[in-house]
Amino acid sequence: MHLLPNPPQREAIRYLDGPLLVLAGAGSGKTRVITQKIAYLIEECGFSPSNIAAITFTNKAAKEMQERVGKLLRDKPSGLTISTFHALGVRILREEARALGYKPRFSIFDANDSFAIVSDLAGSVDKATIRRLQSVISGWKNALVTPAQALKGVSNETEKLAAQAYASYSATLKAYQAVDFDDLIALPVELFENHPEILGKWQNRLRYLLVDEYQDTNACQYKLLRLLAGPRAAFTAVGDDDQAIYGWRGADVENLRGLPRDYPNLKLIKLEQNYRSTVRILKAANALIAHNEKLFDKKLWSELGHGDPISVTVCKDNEKEAESVVMKLQAHRFEHRGEYRDYAVLYRGNFQARALEQFLRDQRIPYALSGGQSFFDKAEIKDITAYLRLLANSDDDPAFIRAVTTPRRGVGGTTLEALGSYAGERHLSLFAAAFEEGFAHRVQARQLAPLLEFCEFINRLEYRAAREAVEPVMNDLLAAIGYEVWLNDEDDKRIALARWDNVQELIKWLARKGEEDGKSLIELTQTIALINLLDKQEDGSRPDAVQLSTLHAAKGLEFRHVFLIGVEEGVLPHRESQAPDKIEEERRLMYVGITRAQRSLHLSYCERRKQGRELIPCEPSRFIAEMGKEDLRFSGGKADSTPDKAGGAARLSAMKAMLAANKVG
């Protein structure tokens, strides 16, 4: 990385005369601008760290920023906010909960917790339907559409069902003293709009805002930033309209267009020098993205040399494509004496990874699958750890709700709503509220009995968990709740068996850990929570393995050598993205894929693709032609199969010779 900021970077770091938009192309050093600006504000301009907030989208980006700022500043800044949007939302809500009618220790529900509630409300067990309803409700929340507005504007049956569930869902969450992921942004907006004195307090506290990946903000996030910035408008927004690829989850690139309108004195600074890729890769990326309607004109350039031509391989079908990629990768690594971690294979959809994984395993090549599910994120593990969380902390409301409903223990939704409402009024946890005399008068005896039975069961278990060996306590817990029987009722035999095996693995691990560390089950629960957190905080170190990733998950990453597969019509661009605005987003997705590559880029597409038992004919993606042919080198397919075979044979002979020479040496 370059040592000194280049002139546009330097200008962006020092500019403080009003709102600023930094249009930062891929690999142009945007994180550097944000972190150095934080250091400049504190060291040169006398800002207190507690008056600065840098906001980003992922924990990984926030962590990287914190580390970089720590290195830049001699004195560790205390009070500096570097967080995700959602973490900032939690902080605001914890402090101001009472103004919205919540207790400060409100619960945060994850997608699984919400799924169970929506399923109950919709009266449906079809998982795909419930996920669709969840997605529609989430879209409304992010667009700041209220349940009443949603009901008025429905245009189809799914929306009608979602709108009916939305109002009840919001009421249920409130009764449980819980919020979901979307509420972490929507509720602070509601709070600030209805309580100007609270808004004023936060505007005075966060006097300078720096926002990363601005093109990925949705309507709700944009509103939150506008409210926090207030009339002072002391902020730096960093973004790139060419990398806006999250429209499907509510991100709106129009927020970039809206900035000059909302802030007429907005200063625009472009970062166009790329420190990542070779000239050829950038030339192809620029040519491709030029086919999109532009918000702001920008052209990436580099001083890293011309670089290798971009290879385009035409393959007979997707199995041959996977084989070709693995062989090419092996040969390239051997030739360049590289490491496996230097290589990434990127694709549009997860289904494309299957054939690849098989060939990589056959060749004993280590690989890491991006976005793979953590063991502790599996539903069955979360079910059992909910019981453990409740044993360790009876005030953990999400754990209480998950445990009492998985498997169901005769406690219905009406009882839980009444309990939630009572707990909210008394500022108690659900568990504590269940034992109160006042609550007993609100429900019928037949409703109260199974609830108290459950709570007493937890109390007995808690006593044992602090004193006895792990394994017998866990086995008794599973037997008492009938978890294995419930799994078999819920899923088909094969899936139920796999899930039960995971639960057994958890128990063995807990028992082993308990013995090794001399810890009780209660103490081990803290260990699980920590492991779970650490799982989610990807550290920057990459194992020596080929990275397999979707294009969406690869954003923000870079690799020396990139293989981009399945560059076909119907795959990239996706067959459901043929409308002009959606094609533009698909083109941006391709652009993101191209600009992940530092030194070499290899594209491939199939003449036919296997779908089930059928072979479907394929067309090369329009994006290949849009990259310009000058720097592309084609091989394979009908057109030039002979030279490709000859080239392949020559490469193979060269490899054999090198291997033989190595053996002799």
Degrees to nearest 5, angle at CA 98 with 96 and 104: 75
Token look-up 């919709």 returns 122
Alpha helices in 466-610 (DSSP H): 470-481, 483-490, 493-517, 521-536, 551-554, 580-594
Residue 604 parent element (H or E)? strand 597-606
Q: Is 95 a catalytic residue?
A: no
Catalytic residue among 596, 598, 599, 607: 596
Residue 337, Ramachandran bin (φ over 0: left; ψ between -120 and 50: alpha; else beta): left
Catalytic residue among 159, 183, 213, 397: 213
Q: Is 212 a catalytic residue?
A: yes
Check: CB of residue 36 under 8 Å from CB of residue 5. Answer: yes
Catalytic residue among 10, 14, 31, 622: 31
Cα–Cα distance, 306 to 510 (Å, whole number): 55
Cα–Cα distance, 324 to 410 (Å, whole number): 57
For residue 210, list its beta bridge partners.
54, 236
Q: Is 243 a catalytic residue?
A: yes
Check: CB of residue 144 under 8 Å from CB of residue 183. Answer: no
Token look-up 């062989």 returns 327
Could you tell me the two tokens for 238? 């960093």
DSSP character for 145? Answer: -
Check: CB of residue 250 under 8 Å from CB of residue 227. Answer: no
Q: What is the phi/psi pair of residue 547, to 5°?
A: -90, 120
Catalytic residue among 177, 243, 273, 415: 243
* Cα-trace Rg, the chain: 28
Positive/negative CA dihedral, 594, 597, 600, 602: negative
Catalytic residue among 212, 216, 321, 584: 212
Cα–Cα distance, 30 to 564 (Å, whole number): 25
DSSP character for 542? Answer: P
Amino acid symbol at 601? L
Q: Is 596 a catalytic residue?
A: yes
Catalytic residue among 30, 223, 226, 270: 30
**DSSP codes, 79-104:** S-EEEEHHHHHHHHHHHHGGGGT--T
Rounded to the nearest 5 percent, the helix, strand and coil shares of the chain are: 60, 15, 30
Residues annotated as catalytic are 30-31, 212-213, 243, 596
